[in-house]
Amino acid sequence: MVLLDGKKTSNAIKDEIASQVSSLVASGEKKPHLAAVIVGNDGASLTYVASKVKACERVGFESTLVKLPETISEKELLHTILQLNTNPKIDGYIVQLPLPKHIDEQNILLAIDPKKDVDGFHPVNVGRMALDLPTFLPATPYGIMELLERYDVETSGKNVLVIGRSHIVGRPMSILMSQKRKSGNATVTIAHSHTKQLSTLTKTADIIVAALGIPEFLTGDMVKNDVTIIDVGITRVADNTKPKGYYITGDVHFDSVSKKASYITPVPGGVGPMTIAMLLKNTLLARNRHAN
Amino acid sequence: MVLLDGKKTSNAIKDEIASQVSSLVASGEKKPHLAAVIVGNDGASLTYVASKVKACERVGFESTLVKLPETISEKELLHTILQLNTNPKIDGYIVQLPLPKHIDEQNILLAIDPKKDVDGFHPVNVGRMALDLPTFLPATPYGIMELLERYDVETSGKNVLVIGRSHIVGRPMSILMSQKRKSGNATVTIAHSHTKQLSTLTKTADIIVAALGIPEFLTGDMVKNDVTIIDVGITRVADNTKPKGYYITGDVHFDSVSKKASYITPVPGGVGPMTIAMLLKNTLLARNRHAN
């Protein structure tokens, strides 16, 4: 069993990016600059954004944190978006989700300039992905593709089961892995809440991408030997025996599944760190496009 | 076995559209206006475009055929596209593919105003489809979804196999049928040239969408009883015993497969006529959006 070590791999990617930033700085050129917009005080969101800002520092990017009150109106937030769109210093930016309920997320995402949409959530970037045109791939799927590629996991002709059809993970994974590309050319099945006899599908899959958000859903008896497992889930499970009162787990029951797997991502330390690394990669790409 | 009669269904849809156009005309409002751009003299393309123009007449739409010489430059064609984008009389238009080799199709498709892109090929419309936002669905997949719906074919929780990953049929079908929508909620597998043991997949599928372009590829021994078959293929096969010297067939060997199928589309008269009906539906939608 090989651990698909997202932490190690993301560090390697960050080193590559840092070295490119050093070259830019050495030739007197502009550093990449990522902005992150956060609305309100949700603990998990603040943690995510803080880790993104920290990652920027690590690779030598400029970063700007735009922290807005929970009570901001949609109109005011749209105004901030337009400022970020036109600010030539900002190469790319993200709007941390979820937004407060009185704001229509879709309206906000549609207002982001696709050229600065380093999360890859704007329809034009989603469409470009589906059409296999150059674009910003959404960071989590992009990270998974990169992880598979760097570990030389064979995907061509393999039966891949993607569990979950979310716009940010399941859907793009099902598209990317079935395209003619590196870590692609797989025969992909997308399963979701309406799927019947899921365990029949899990038992025949060569590669499973679990992105359904149910902690430790996938167990050892549900998979075949030598399966490759990508665990996208990340849930805090309450546990009084732990110092923090909870533990972090994925959608995969690691102990039982890892016994049968040929490759598996741990949680934490698998897909999560890759996501941040790919956000940085997209920001560097945005910067290089603007510069050309 | 029930024949999914695309001809009959498309006629019903055309009647519905014609009745809506009559209402518009009766209240002194503008008719929908579709333009079709064709470059060169490819026989099949001319036939397709002629049938689209004829369908416009049938439902009371205005139509404009923009016929351009094979030798037109990409720049000149882009100029035509920009004129169509800004012409307020035109609600929607299509550029008949394929284009001559000296023209970059992607550049042309990207230049079409998404609001007039009734073929649904522009990245922003593809992205909106993938994100399940209101859009122009590409006509062939849209026609298949409509056919399934009008014949009350149950798709929720069914195992659907889409054979072919083209941008205009296979990919959108795999997305649409797995979405939470009418004729959706299926567990969808997308197969293609790299798929191994395809017949294992065809034998377990409840619904097969064959869009690979190999005449009579899918045979009776490859499917299970009560399967639903959507045949997207349309190929001319040379045959000296036929008056025209050829016959038209799909990707499905109709005689053997229809014996086991619960529902099946014929070729011709299945998916083909639906495609044109949905192009008209998109044009009506474009007109109504512009009017509002």
Asked whether residue B10 is domain-assigned, the answer is no
A168 with A261, same domain: the answer is yes
User: What confidence tens digit (pLDDT) does each residue in A6-36 have?
Assistant: 999 999 999 999 999 999 999 999 999 999 9
Catalytic-labelled residue, pool B14, B91, B96, B231: B96
Centre a 10 Å sphere on the Cβ of residue A137 and count the other Cβ atoms it contains.
Answer: 24
Give backbone dihedrals phi and psi of A118, rounded to 5 degrees, phi first.
Answer: -70, -10
A92 with A156, same domain: the answer is no
For residue A291, what pLDDT is reported?
75
Q: Compute the CA torsion angle A174, A175, A178, A179 (nearest 10 deg).
A: -160
Average pLDDT for B61-66: 98
Asked whether residue A155 is domain-assigned, the answer is yes
- Complex ipTM value: 0.96
For residue A290, what pLDDT is reported?
81
User: What confidence tens digit (pLDDT) does each residue in B231-257 have?
Assistant: 999 999 999 999 999 999 999 999 999
Measured CA to CA, the distance from residue A125 to residue A122 in angstroms comes to: 5
Give backbone dihedrals phi and psi of A77, rounded to 5 degrees, phi first.
Answer: -65, -40
User: What confidence tens digit (pLDDT) does each residue in A179-215 have?
Assistant: 999 999 999 999 999 999 999 999 999 999 999 999 9
Asked whether residue A65 is domain-assigned, the answer is yes
| Nearest residue to B223 via CA among B258, B184, B191, B251 | B258
B260 with B143, same domain: the answer is yes
Strand B187-191 versus strand A187-191 pairing type: antiparallel
B165 with B253, same domain: the answer is yes
Residue percentage of chain A with pLDDT more than 70: 100
B51: domain CATH number is 3.40.50.10860
Strand B235-238 versus strand B246-249 pairing type: antiparallel
For residue B219, what pLDDT is reported?
98
Ranges A250-259, B43-52, B73-82, B268-277: which has the least confidence: B43-52
Nearest-CA distance B196 → chain A (Å): 6
For residue A175, what pLDDT is reported?
98
Domain boundary, last residue among A97, A113, A129: A113
Give backbone dihedrals phi and psi of A228, rounded to 5 degrees, phi first.
Answer: -105, 130
**Cβ within 8 Å, pair A192-B187:** yes
Whether B42 is catalytic: no
Measured CA to CA, the distance from residue B277 to residue A20 in angstroms comes to: 53
Q: Is the pLDDT of residue A292 over 90?
A: no
**Cβ within 8 Å, pair A167-B131:** yes
B81 with B184, same domain: the answer is no
pLDDT band at A281 (very low <50, low <70, confident <90, very high): very high
**Cβ within 8 Å, pair B195-A157:** yes
Residue range of the domain that includes A99: 27-113
Pull the structure tokens for residue A231. 């665990």
Our count of domains for chain A comes to: 2
DSSP H/E element including B149: helix B139-150
Which among B130, B189, B190 has CB closest to A127?
B130
Q: Is the pLDDT of residue B292 over 70?
A: no
Average pLDDT for B196-201: 97
User: What confidence tens digit (pLDDT) does each residue in B11-57 have?
Assistant: 999 999 999 999 999 999 999 999 999 999 999 899 999 999 999 99
Catalytic-labelled residue, pool A5, A14, A91, A96: A96
Residue percentage of chain A with pLDDT more than 90: 98
| Nearest residue to B250 via CA among B55, B6, B49 | B6
- Residue B106 with chain A: CB contacts under 8 Å: 133
A259 with A163, same domain: the answer is yes
Average pLDDT for B186-193: 98
Asked whether residue A291 is domain-assigned, the answer is no
Average pLDDT for B59-80: 98
Measured CA to CA, the distance from residue A117 to residue A120 in angstroms comes to: 5
B263: domain CATH number is 3.40.50.720
Asked whether residue A96 is domain-assigned, the answer is yes
Asked whether residue A22 is domain-assigned, the answer is no
- Residue B190 with chain A: CB contacts under 8 Å: 174, 178, 187-189
B144 with B257, same domain: the answer is yes
For residue A35, what pLDDT is reported?
98
**Cβ within 8 Å, pair A191-B187:** yes
**Cβ within 8 Å, pair A165-B187:** no
Centre a 10 Å sphere on the Cβ of residue B283 and count the other Cβ atoms it contains.
Answer: 30
DSSP A29-98: PPPPEEEEEEES--HHHHHHHHHHHHHHHHHT-EEEEEEE-TT--HHHHHHHHHHHHH-TT--EEEEPSP
- The DSSP letter of residue B30 is P
Question: A270 to each of A7, A90, A225, A255, how far by Cα in Å?
Answer: 6, 29, 21, 15
Residues in B whose CB is inside 8 Å of some CB of A read 106, 122-133, 156-157, 165, 167, 171, 174-175, 178-179, 185-192, 194-196, 201
Contact B89, B33 (CB under 8 A): yes
Centre a 10 Å sphere on the Cβ of residue A180 and count the other Cβ atoms it contains.
Answer: 12
Average pLDDT for A270-279: 97
Output the pTM of the full model.
0.96
Q: Is the pLDDT of residue B178 over 70?
A: yes
Give backbone dihedrals phi and psi of B8, rounded to 5 degrees, phi first.
Answer: -65, -45
A261 with A160, same domain: the answer is yes
**Cβ within 8 Å, pair A157-B131:** no
Pull the structure tokens for residue A244. 């923090």
pLDDT band at B290 (very low <50, low <70, confident <90, very high): confident
B174 with B268, same domain: the answer is yes
pLDDT band at A44 (very low <50, low <70, confident <90, very high): confident
Average pLDDT, chain B: 97
Asked whether residue A4 is domain-assigned, the answer is no
Asked whether residue A289 is domain-assigned, the answer is no
- Of all residues in chain B, the one with the smallest CA distance to A181 is B194
pLDDT band at B4 (very low <50, low <70, confident <90, very high): very high
pLDDT band at B291 (very low <50, low <70, confident <90, very high): confident
Whether A96 is catalytic: yes
Average pLDDT for B216-233: 98
B172 with B56, same domain: the answer is no
| Nearest residue to A223 via CA among A251, A201, A194, A192 | A201
A95 with A157, same domain: the answer is no
Interface test with B, best of A106, A161, A165 (most B CBs within 10 A): A165
B73 with B35, same domain: the answer is yes
Burial of A85 (0-12, 13-18, 19+ CB in 10 A): middle
Q: Is the pLDDT of residue A177 over 90?
A: yes
DSSP H/E element including A15: helix A6-26
For residue B285, what pLDDT is reported?
97
Q: Is the pLDDT of residue A284 over 70?
A: yes
